[in-house]
Chain A
Amino acid sequence: MNERESLVELHDLSVIYPGAAAPAVSGVNLSVRRGGRLLLLGPSGCGKSTLLFVMAGIIPDVVPATLRGQMVTGGARIGVVLQNPEAQMIAPTVEEEIAFGLENHGVPPVEMEQRITGVLSRFGLEAYRHWSPSRLSGGEAQKVALAAAVALEPELLFLDEPTAFLDPVATRDFFSALSTLSPDTSLVIVEHKLEYVLPVVDRYVRLSRDGSITAEGNPAELSRTYWYDAVLDLVQFHRPASGSPQGVPSVEAAATRQFEKQEPVLRCRDVRHVYAGGKTALDGMDLDVREGECVVIMGSNGSGKSTFLDKISAVLPVQSHTILLRNADVGKLKPAALYETLLAVPQNPEHMFLTEKVEAELDLSTPDRDDLDRIASDFGIAGLLERNPYTLSEGEKRRLTVASAVLDGRHLLLFDEPTYGLDAEAVATLVEIVRDLSSQGATLLIVTHSPELAFLVADRILMLERGRIVFSGTPADLASEGEIDPAFLPVWERASGSTQGRTATVPRRTKGSK
């Protein structure tokens, strides 16, 4: 076989989903060669995953759609890692999960044992061999999914946003595991986190919103500009007149808002939580949040971030006098009184939907039609008012929930992982929205895995580890903190080299300025 033979070739390929007016992928010409490593880029909904699913044979075999054009495959062995680690787990134990594909392909049990032992060792998962996948963290589960795919000894490996649900450290670990693949293994990967994925690919293809290819080339070209394109430019960062040699923007000093003298809106003292089964999620959390402050909470999966929000919103039982909201004991407040002030926007936007129309969703938050129209327009959902919320894209759903929260007018807003499912452009929109909310005086608590979001909106960042606060300070403090894993710093901080001893200030846009 030719060293650089094509494993997949697409000729003028279009994909149309049943009932869709326009193709999801339009007139794509593309080939993946043996050993080639291809990155698919583009905004949410542009057809990247569709294209990957077509090449992997998922469309139209499992997901129905009409294909036009031609696809030529060389019958290569494939492996696939999907976005959501939890949804990929089928079997009762990790070893059986890895064995699942091998069993389907009729691999003899002795060889199966060898391959399972091999991939577990390679990805550092030996200790989890007999665990139920439900006990694994998101990062561990995704490494199991990768191990399961690699155990099949694929010639071509497809990865569809494999780190979308992972924290920064797990993301780095996942790509570290990916870098151990044999150079003969071809890759096709959809991934927004360019800083991690660029070192493992040798070619990129960018799709436009209409599903056609707008650019392709060497990732080295991309790396010279992607900092701006992906995040910073979109949030209207001040681009330096002449960039640094690495293309990293210098950031301006900005006025830091002062909150210390204000009375805390929210006061948490020695907040603890132990889940049934004995796992300590919160181990004595102390926090004061002041009026108008935007506090961002970061940390690895399982560090207690979401549990902390659940405590503040009294979703979990609250011990007396541990959480005070405007001096009222949250543990004793009636729900009507507590939720008059506080609104929690969940990780899954669909959980917030109560009606069958976008307009009705917004209407629940305000009786004022003018306000509704203005906010719908601000959030780019004015054209979607007649739609069913469940039919929106992930970005649109997220914008709808945040718009509802804004219209609702409550003073304390809690956001749990608001960047899940969003591309750089949607994250940039979210940044603008959060900054607006903050400048209008809303008090915000945001749990996120996105250091970029944290650095762009936070007055204060908290880092959690095993249910305790291990860092509390401004983004600039975090950037100069030597003890914090650099994975928790945004791309522009990591790109500028050592984090030791550096300080950086992220400009805050004050109301009326951009």
Chain B
Amino acid sequence: MSGTLAYLSPFGHLLVVFTYLMPVLLSFDPVTPVVFLILNLLTLFGLGHVRLRRFLRIMGPLLIFPIGLFVLNLLFTDTSGHGDQFIRVAWLTLNEYALHRALVIALRALSLISISIGYLLVTGPLELVSAMMQQVGLPPRLGFSIFVGWNAIPRFKENLSRIRTVHRIRLRGQSRTFRDLVPTAVTLLADAIRHAQRAAVSMAVRGIEEAEHRTYLRALPWRVRDWIYLAGNLAVVAGLFAWLIGSGLFVFGLG
């Protein structure tokens, strides 16, 4: 984690992020997603010290999803039974219901993506697993297996590329058919199973099975400040949610 968030539990921050996501998931209005998007950005840039350029660089390619959803919903929403009100935007005449629906869905997608990416930007997956092992009793065997799996991703990628190349060379540069994918998958699977077995042995010989009184080199206890951060955020989220409902801006909807 970075910034002030570095001093807080990654698990606590995950809970906070869930509290941001829930109202957005339950809403079907254009305001709620924007409110929680802004709250998330304030947390990211204020407490997480995330650089705007980095955030935009990652979010940029992902904007295709909200934009795509906007266009699809604008063009293909079933408007029957929702009136025939149209509005003109420049030279376009748009169905008002379709535009509203497209806008809501696009903003909701943008908000959900932004909140999720924000979490990944300030928290490493391994930090989260470490915190969960120490704070919520995630079994170390499972936690360290996740570490092994995470560390194996580049190996998997490299092996896939290497196997495909070796097969291409062996087949004298012939184009691969769908059938050729089977041996690639078998080889990858065999390698993954063997790697997992070796890692399991490596963990077992160092006592993972007998770790009843496990200690930690880098202790990550749940502290008072984590309670304060969680409670403070819950209060803000509850306040905003109450205001959105009270003012009639919040519309419930899962569609």
Contact = CB atoms under 8 A, between A and B. Distances in A.
A104 B201 contact: no
A87 B194 CA distance: 9
Interface stretch (A17-25, A332-340, A474-482): A332-340
B86 to A, nearest CB: 52
B198 A104 contact: no
A87 B214 contact: no
B4 interface: no
Contacts, number: 143
A399 to B, nearest CB: 16
B147 to A, nearest CB: 6
B172 to A, nearest CB: 5
A350 B170 CA distance: 13
Contacts of B180: 354
Interface string B139-161: 01000100110010011000100
A123 interface: no
A344 interface: yes
A148 to B, nearest CB: 7
Nearest to A344: B169
Give the residue among B169, B172, B191, B210 with the most A Cβ atoms within 10 A. Answer: B169
B173 interface: yes
A63 B196 CA distance: 12
Contacts of B171: 339, 354
B215 interface: yes
A43 interface: no
Nearest to A56: B205
A90 B214 contact: no
A152 interface: yes
A339 B217 contact: no
B144 to A, nearest CB: 5
Interface in A317-349: 334-340, 342-344, 346, 348
B174 interface: yes
Contacts of B218: 96
Contact of B170 (A96, A334, A354): A354
A95 B207 contact: no
Give the residue among A100, A105, A116 with the most B Cβ atoms within 10 A. Answer: A100
B202 A346 contact: no
A355 B190 contact: no
Interface residues of A, number: 62
A82 B203 CA distance: 11
Interface residues of B, number: 51
B217 A104 contact: no
Contacts of B215: 102-103, 106-109, 112
A179 B234 CA distance: 59
A474 to B, nearest CB: 30
B219 A109 contact: yes
Contacts of A274: none
Contact of B216 (A90, A109, A148): A109
B173 A336 contact: yes
B208 interface: yes
A103 B180 CA distance: 45
B204 A352 contact: no
A74 B180 CA distance: 53
A469 interface: no
Contact of A90 (B144, B172, B186, B212): B144
Interface string B165-198: 1111111111000001001001100110001011
A351 B174 CA distance: 17
Interface in A340-385: 340, 342-344, 346, 348, 350-355, 364
B214 to A, nearest CB: 5
Give the residue among A56, A91, A104, A390 with the most B Cβ atoms within 10 A. Answer: A104
Contact of B217 (A95, A346, A390): A95
B213 A101 contact: no
B193 to A, nearest CB: 10
Interface in A363-420: 364, 390, 404
B75 to A, nearest CB: 40
A92 B171 CA distance: 39
A89 B151 contact: yes
B41 to A, nearest CB: 29
B117 interface: no
Given A344-B169, A350-B187, A353-B183, A134 B206 contact: no
Given A103-B214, A353-B187, A339 B200 contact: no
Contacts of A335: 168, 173
A491 to B, nearest CB: 29
Interface string A66-107: 000000000000111010101111111001100111111111
Contacts of A116: 217
Contact of A344 (B166, B187, B191, B216): B166
A84 B198 contact: yes
A313 interface: yes
A134 B218 CA distance: 20
Contact of A339 (B140, B154, B169): B169
B126 interface: yes
A404 B171 CA distance: 12
B140 A354 contact: no
B170 A364 contact: yes
B169 A90 contact: no
A57 B217 CA distance: 26
A357 B140 CA distance: 40
A334 B187 contact: no
Interface in B201-237: 201-219
Interface in A137-166: 148, 152, 158
B179 to A, nearest CB: 10
A346 B147 contact: no
Given A92-B147, A334-B173, A340-B172, A148 B206 contact: yes
Nearest to B129: A92
A343 B199 contact: no
Contacts of B200: 62
17 contacts: A62-B201, A82-B201, A87-B199, A91-B147, A100-B203, A102-B215, A103-B211, A103-B216, A105-B211, A108-B215, A109-B216, A112-B215, A113-B217, A148-B206, A340-B173, A346-B162, A354-B171
Given A87-B198, A88-B199, A339-B168, 17 more contacts: A62-B201, A79-B205, A87-B202, A92-B147, A96-B217, A96-B218, A99-B217, A104-B207, A106-B214, A315-B162, A336-B172, A338-B173, A348-B191, A351-B163, A352-B167, A353-B183, A354-B180
- Closest 7 pairs between A and B when the two form their complex, measured CB to CB: A335-B173, A87-B198, A101-B206, A104-B207, A336-B173, A80-B205, A99-B217
Interface of A: 56-58, 61-63, 78-80, 82, 84, 86-92, 95-96, 99-109, 112-113, 116, 133-134, 148, 152, 158, 313, 315, 334-340, 342-344, 346, 348, 350-355, 364, 390, 404
Interface of B: 126, 140, 144, 147-148, 151, 154-155, 159, 162-163, 165-174, 180, 183, 186-187, 190-191, 195, 197-219
